[in-house]
A and B are shown apart, each in its own frame.
Chain A
Amino acid sequence: MAVETPLKGNIGDSIRRKEDDRFIRGRGNYVDDIALPGMLHMAIHRSPFAHARIKSIKTEAAQAVPGVVAVVTGALLAQHKLAWMPTLSGDTQAVLATDKVRFQGQEVACVVATDPYVARDAAALVEVDYEVLPAVVTPQQALEPDAPLIRDEKDGQTNNHIYHWEAGDKAKTDEAFAKADRVVSLDTFYPRCHPSPLETCGIVADVNSATGHATLYMTSQAPHAHRTLFAIVAGLPEQNIRIISPDIGGGFGNKVPIYPGYVVATAASLLIGKPVKWVEDRSENLISTGFARDFHMSGEMALSNDGRILGLRVKLLSDNGAFYADAQPTKFRAGLFHIVTGSYDVAAAHVEADGAYTNKAPGGVAYRCSFRVTEASYLIERLVESAALEMKMDPADIRLKNFIKPEQFPYMSATGFEYDSGDYPRAMQVALDKLGYQSLRQEQAEKRKKGELMGIGVASFTEVVGAGPGKHYDIAGLRMFDSAELRVHPTGKAILKLGVKSQGQGHETTFAQIVTEELGIPAADVEVQEGDTDNTPYGLGTYASRSTPVGGAATAMVSRKLRDKAKRIAAHLLEASDADIEFDQGKFFVRGSPAKSKTIQDVAFAAYTNLPDGMEAGLEGVTYYDPPNMTFPFGTYLVVVDIDRGTGQVKVRRMVAVDDCGVRINPMIVEGQIHGGLTEGFGIAFMQLITFDEEGNCLGSNFTDYLLPTSWETPRFEMGETVTPSPHHPIGAKGVGESATVGSPAAFVNAVIDAVAHLGITNIDMPVTSDKVWAALHEKGAAE
């Protein structure tokens, strides 16, 4: 029997995830696992109303419960100038409500007690006298002239309008529409959903009253940026703040913002002098933390008679909740939504966006998405489907006709993005072949004759991920670079420290493999460390698929820096000149004589024991990488559905996903990422919804009402790939964590529409639930 050589972990090797042992064996270390001596527990009293004036808050009953140490209110925080905090979008957000509550579930008071059960019991005893005000639950309602003013505490705020923002060229777009043969339009709503990481948000705040040092164990996707924001918000000296983001059980954008619970727990620890733990429960996570989407979009597409897209006009109304707390680069008011021209060569485009306050939870985060690219991708892919219907063209053909051609890259889009690379027709062809598209179209035609409903959905997405460059993209002023520090020890083993932070993406394996590729040290010998601000170089964190594009590039660059030094040491060991040394797979040798070589381990040892004269000891380095451009992963997703006319149930029969994320470092991890993203896309398309009644009560506050797909109903995924390396990334990788969530919802919905369009049904907004499908069929007299 042949013995397989264990993979070293080069790029392209599907080695097992180094981190999984501890997760599978229950030896991970999450925030809720942390217990410190004398630690107290905090629970939050939340508003039952969406909009109400606070007349009084009585805490005596809660204070009187045995075990309660303190009850913190907004009034107390106000004495320390902490009742309000800045948001990532330049607005302010109440830490604890003092004047009004503005969404159901808003933080009103916190109880700190010796036991989590006592804290919860006492939190229920905080008495708040409210004067209930009318609630505003849609942005359309919010912008009516007589709408109740939500942010009455803001100077100069006289209505619920937040921002107006435009991109593209209006005049040129108007001109394109004037010349168009046909105009297709689509109004669609991408509903509010929630990232719902399995681990909810939490903190253990440990402020040492003697030294003033604050150690904060936090569920943070961006520990360094959070440290700086804590320093600014709380006025603590930054060198005294240490944020440790331990193992994180999923983030998906939900752990990018700073939440009131973190701030109050830290303040409570500071005031009481003991560690304070706060871990929210599932309902608290769903009703109060960063939601996603909630975009009302109208798109118009100008077309020529032969199906060429001439122009695109988009209007967006975003529902931002009670505080404008979107996590996004500061120059962009609706994130990167203006990538809305998608995969198509559209000469003229114009995007107009407005945002409104509503009495709903704040914090529009990019849920497994690069700053609103998901909404943009959904709109353009749905609109192209509408165009295909209008023009009576095959949805694959109209896309092929309008794709940016491979030879057009780098391509400057009408809204100002420079697409780095792509080969869209190839990815589509691979997907069509894998599906057997033509024969399914025949089957569909035969089924239709018998009255059976079958649909094939197409979506060809393009993402924009990997922010910076820092000159265009910043979070709260912090430029979006990222960092890697590599230390190779004398025995040739290494520690890689990163500014990004894994929440399950497999960084400990993937980034080790980059070092393996660049330096030849086996991945097993590279320990990857992240999340501790005292022990890792400064970085902006992990979200928007930026870890591999930015942190991965930093890793490659720092490895190359060390390789250059290693070459000089190797030259010394081989008694040759630096210029004659070659490197291949972890070995240094004189050009032309590979037999006589020094390994990276030999060189590492020499770096501490046998150096050329004048060279500094050690084999260590750090790189801060500012990417020259974003990366643009893409792909084509195809979905086949069958619909039951009696119940409206949509059964996903097949799903083919062809992704091009550039070079794949660990293909198994990439496929895992795509599987996860497709599952979430499936959930968003068919079931996930945070909605509100007219009083502003949240109707998705637990997993009975907010539906997450399980392995039982999730379809089987058939995957394919093409590889178009990013020309500007050191190893050609583009990032893949979010492609599938971005690209798949439109494919699912397009499949449903494809099945029913002949009946005159052109749109069903997500989630596409059975009852909505049946109602649409029923209206057309086509239901059983």
Chain B
Amino acid sequence: MLPAPFEYHAPNTMDEALGLLDELGEDAKVLAGGQSLIPLLKLRFASPAHLVDINKIKDLDFLEERDGMLRVGPLFRHKSAERSSLLASRYQVMADAAPQIADPIIRNRGTIAGSVAHADPSGDWGTVLLALDADLVLRSRSATRTVKAREFFSGPFSTALQPTEILSEIRIPAARPQTGGAYLKLERKVGDFATVAVAVHLQMEDGKVGSAGIGLTAVGPQNIKAGQAEAALRGASLDDTTIKEAAALAAEAAEPTADQRGSVEYKRNVVRVFTERGLKRAYERARGGG
């Protein structure tokens, strides 16, 4: 497992990093946690001429609630998400997902932003951000722009991110009272990519659903937002019938393909089962339980 030759850059500032990307364009890849990029290099599936390692840049490893937003920095690592009491108490879909990312060794190094930018359709964080209706801040040397998570992903490993840009912040609307979430993941073993995973984020208002976010992992060319299921829940009371209907709509939104992890029918069924279970768990949590 020996990679092809590449040049390694380790800038000390964001400006320096963005300058390098501006100069090198498509020949460069940004290295954050490296948990996807390094295996690709070693398998020679990717052989960029330049790596721009952003780990030396200060102040990129943050998680904070500010100005009505939860903000996640580009070097905020999975393990920090796993241990965050803020996420555990207010953003349960994230707290649920974090310990289910790969294995502890990968969680020590891997970053949320890196995983989102890599845009593996089997990646977990994109799905979570879709359920949370997050915004992604994309910064280049010349400009900064904000893109909705649902507009960010455009296919397997492809996103709105330009080669000259860095995903510099993830912004999530701050959680209000009566919020609950859940992330259910089926994997063949710890460290495997998801066979299927479902993210649910519920905001209850006066006993009814104020808003619902549902994201699906590994059942399409990209992480999927189950918009029709979300719409069906809005304003509804969460009884068994509503839950079953929403779960059926989520299953319809899935576009799985058959592989060694299972058949199309199987994966669609797991989406349905997990959406039902996820909604029940999120509802319970929104009411102060679980």
Query: Which residues of chain A have a CB within 8 Å of any CB of chain B?
Result: 116-117, 120-121, 124, 281-283, 646-649, 687, 689, 691, 699, 702, 704-705, 707-710, 712-713, 769-771, 774-775, 778, 783-784
A769 touching B188, Cβ below 8 Å: yes
| Minimum Cβ distance to chain A for residue B248 (Å) | 14
Given contacts A707-B192, A710-B189, A774-B266, contact A120 B260 (CB under 8 A): no
Extra pairs beyond A770-B262, A771-B263 (13, CB < 8 Å): A116-B2, A282-B1, A283-B1, A646-B274, A647-B186, A647-B273, A689-B260, A707-B188, A769-B262, A771-B195, A774-B266, A775-B263, A778-B266
A-B interface, 6 closest residue pairs, ranked by CB to CB distance from nearest? A771-B262, A646-B273, A712-B190, A281-B1, A771-B266, A120-B2
What is the minimal beta-carbon distance from A579 to any residue of chain B, in angstroms? 64
| In the assembled complex, B5 has its CB within 8 A of some CB on chain A | yes
For A771, the chain B residues whose CB sits under 8 A away are 195, 261-263, 266
Q: Would A709 and B4 be within 8 Å (CB), given that A647-B273, A771-B263 are in contact?
A: no
Q: Is B147 an interface residue (CB 8 A)?
A: no
Q: B68 near A: Cβ within 8 Å? A: no
**Does B156 interact with chain A (Cβ within 8 Å)?**
no
- The reply to whether B270 and A647 form a contact with Cβ atoms under 8 Å apart is yes
Q: In the bound complex, what is the Cα–Cα distance between A687 and B266 (angstroms)?
A: 17
Cβ of B185 to closest chain A Cβ, rounded Å: 11
Closest to B263 in A: A771
Would you call A770 and B260 a contact (CB within 8 A)?
A: no
Known: A687-B189, A710-B189. A783 touches B260 (CB 8 A): no
Q: Is the CB of A117 within 8 A of B195?
A: no
A710 neighbours in B (Cβ, 8 Å): 103, 189-191
> In the complex, A774 Cα to B268 Cα: how many Å?
12
Tell me the nearest residue of chain A to B2, going by C-beta: A120
Q: Which of chain A's residues has its CB closest to B267's CB?
A: A771
| Cβ–Cβ < 8 Å partners of A708 in chain B | 189
- Cross-interface CB contact of A709 among B2, B5, B43, B189, cutoff 8 Å: B189
What A residues does B257 contact at CB under 8 A? none
In the bound complex, how far is the Cα of B190 from the Cα of A712, in angstroms? Answer: 6
Contact B189 A707 (CB under 8 A): yes
Asked whether A646 and B189 contact (CB < 8 A) given A282-B1, A691-B260, A770-B195, the answer is no
State whether B5 touches A687 (Cβ < 8 A).
Answer: no
- Of residues 34 through 75 on chain B, the ones whose CB sits less than 8 Å from some CB of chain A are 43-44
Q: Which residues of B contact A687 (CB under 8 A)?
A: 188-189
A695 to chain B, nearest CB (A): 16
Specify which of B2, B103, B263 is in contact with A117 (CB 8 Å cutoff): B2
Separation of A742 and B262 alpha carbons in the complex (Å): 28
Asked if B193 CB lies within 8 Å of chain A CBs, one says yes
A14 to B112, CA, bound (A): 46
16 A–B contacts from the bound complex (CB under 8 Å): A120-B2, A281-B1, A283-B43, A646-B269, A646-B274, A647-B186, A647-B274, A707-B188, A712-B103, A713-B189, A769-B188, A770-B188, A771-B262, A774-B266, A778-B265, A783-B269
* Residues of chain A contacted by B189 (CB below 8 angstroms): 687, 707-710, 712-713
Complex contacts, A124 vs chain B, CB 8 Å: 44
Q: Which chain B residue lies CB-closest to A683? A: B189
> Across the interface, which residues of A come within 8 angstroms of B274, CB to CB?
646-647
CA distance A708 to B193 in the complex (A): 14
CB <8 Å contact, B190 and A713: yes
Please give, as numbers and ranges, the residues of chain B lying within 8 Å of A775 by CB-CB distance: 263, 266
Residue of A nearest to B192 (CB): A707
Least CB distance, B241 to chain A, in whole angstroms: 17
**Closest A residue, CB atoms, query B105:** A710
Query: How far apart sit A335 and B261, CA to CA, in the bound complex (Å)?
Result: 33
Nearest chain B CB to A708 CB, angstrom units: 8
Smallest CB separation, A737 vs chain B (Å): 24
Contacts of A121 in B (CB 8 A): 4-5
Residues from chain A with a CB closer than 8 A to the CB of B195 are 770-771
Contact with A along B149-160 (1 / 0, CB 8 A): 000000000000
Interface of A is mostly: loop
Give the distance in Å from the alpha carbon of A524 to the alpha carbon of B157 in the complex: 57
Chain A residue nearest in CB terms to B44: A124
Query: In the assembled complex, which residues on chain A have CB atoms less than 8 Å from the CB atom of B262?
Result: 769-771, 774
Chain B residue nearest to A645 in the complex (CB): B273
- In the bound complex, residues from chain A placing their C-beta under 8 Å from that of B192 are 704, 707
Report the Cα distance A713→B265, complex, angstroms: 26
How far in angstroms is the closest Cβ of chain B from A414? Answer: 40
Contacts of A281 in B (CB 8 A): 1-2
Closest to B262 in A: A771
Contact A649-B43, Cβ < 8 Å, known A121-B4, A771-B266 = no
Contact with A along B258-282 (1 / 0, CB 8 A): 0011110110011001100100000
Contact A699/B5 with A646-B273, A707-B188, A713-B189 known, Cβ cut-off 8 Å: no
Q: How far, in angstroms, from A704 to B269 measured CA to CA in the complex?
A: 24
Please name the residue on chain B nearest to A700 by beta carbon.
B260
Chain A residue at smallest Cβ distance from B193: A704
Contact partners of B260 in chain A: CB under 8 A: 689, 691, 699, 705
Tell me which of B188, B190, B191, B263 has the highest count of chain A C-beta atoms within 10 A of its own C-beta.
Answer: B188
Most buried by B among A647, A689, A707, A784: A647
B23 shortest CB reach to chain A, Å? 26
Most buried by B among A281, A691, A771, A775: A771
Inter-chain CA distance A124–B3, complex, in Å, is 12
> Most chain-A CB neighbours within 10 Å: which of B195, B269, B277?
B269
What's the nearest-Cβ distance from chain B to residue A229, in Å? 29
Alpha-carbon distance A121/B6, docked complex (angstroms): 13
Asked if A770 and B190 make an inter-chain contact with CB atoms under 8 angstroms apart, the answer reads no
Q: What are the residues of chain A within 8 A of B43 when measuring CB–CB?
A: 283, 702
Docked complex Cα distance between A283 and B5 (Å): 20
B contact residues around A120 at 8 Å (CB): 2
Using Cβ atoms and an 8 Å threshold, which residues of chain A touch B5? 117, 121
> Which residues on B sit within 8 Å (CB–CB) of A778?
265-266, 269
Q: Distance in Å from the Cβ of B269 to the closest Cβ of chain A? A: 7
A783 to B274, CA, bound (A): 14
Q: How far is the CB of A693 from chain B (nearest CB, A)?
A: 10
Chain B nearest CB from A168 CB (Å) reads: 38
The distance from the CB of B124 to the nearest CB of chain A, in whole angstroms, is: 15
Q: How many angstroms between the C-alpha atoms of A689 and B261 in the bound complex?
A: 12
Residues of B near A648 (CB, < 8 A) are: 266
Given contacts A710-B189, A770-B186, contact A646 B266 (CB under 8 A): no
Task: Please give, as numbers and ranges, the residues of chain B lying within 8 Å of A783 by CB-CB distance.
Answer: 269
Contact of B269 among A116, A712, A774 (CB under 8 A): A774
> Hey, which chain A residues are within 8 Å of B277, CB to CB?
646
B281 to chain A, nearest CB (A): 14
Q: B51 CB to closest chain A CB, in angstroms?
A: 16
Inter-chain CA distance A649–B185, complex, in Å, is: 12
Closest-CB distance, A114 to chain B (whole angstroms):
14
**Which of chain A's residues have a CB closer than 8 A to the CB of B191?**
710, 712
The listed residue with most B CB atoms (<10 A of its CB), out of A282, A687, A769, is: A769
Q: Taking CB as reference atom, which chain A residue is nearest B277?
A: A646
Q: Which residue on chain A has the smallest CB distance to residue B191? A: A710
Does the CB pair A649–B186 fall under 8 Å? yes
- What's the Cα separation between A117 and B269 when bound, in Å? 46
Give chain A nearest CB distance to B263 CB in angstroms: 6
Cβ-closest chain B residue relative to A644: B273
Least CB distance, B194 to chain A, in whole angstroms: 12
**Residues of chain B contacted by A702 (CB below 8 angstroms):** 43
Q: Which residues of B contact A689 (CB under 8 A)?
A: 260
CB distance from A604 to the nearest CB of B (A): 49
Whole-angstrom distance from the CB of B256 to the nearest CB of chain A?
11
Tell me the complex Cα distance, A702–B192, Å: 12
Chain A nearest CB: distance from B272 CB in Å? Answer: 8
Interface 1/0s, chain B 235-262, versus A by CB < 8 A? Answer: 0000000000000000000000000111
Hey, what's the 0/1 contact readout for B188-222 against A, CB within 8 Å counting as 1? Answer: 11111101000000000000000000000000000
Bound-complex Cα distance A705 to B195 (A): 12
